[in-house]
Amino acid sequence: MNDTVRVWRVRKNHTWIDARLHERTQTRDVELQFFYDGTLVLARQCATRDAALAQAEVYLKNLERAGWNAHW
């Protein structure tokens, strides 16, 4: 089974970026995915869910510094 969960969304100038966790239960790996207006633009493998969430938080803080606003 595969599970994908949105972690956060930011918006700027009518554009949005989502961070999502894609967990594969059979292989137990976690992929942190970033979508720009619905298109997958970056994916990173992480050892654990906690590591993926920590990495997502770093990206979020950097985007907020660049003027993106959190939006659910």
Q: What is the pLDDT of residues 21-68, one digit of tens each?
A: 998 777 778 999 999 999 999 999 999 999 999 999 999 999 999 999
Distance CA 11, CA 29 (A): 28
In a domain, 17, yes or no: yes
Under a CB-based contact definition with an 8 Å cutoff, are residues 20 and 56 in contact?
A: no
72 occurs within a structural domain: no
Q: Give the total number of structural domains in the chain.
A: 1
Residue with tokens 């990173």: 44
- The range of the structural domain enclosing residue 36 comes to 2-67
Distance linking the first and last C-alpha atoms of the chain: 26
Q: What is the pTM of this model?
A: 0.88
Question: Which pLDDT score is estimated for 29?
Answer: 84
Report d(CA 2, CA 22) in Å as an integer: 7
Confidence of residue 2 (pLDDT cuts 50, 70, 90): low
Is 46 a domain residue? yes
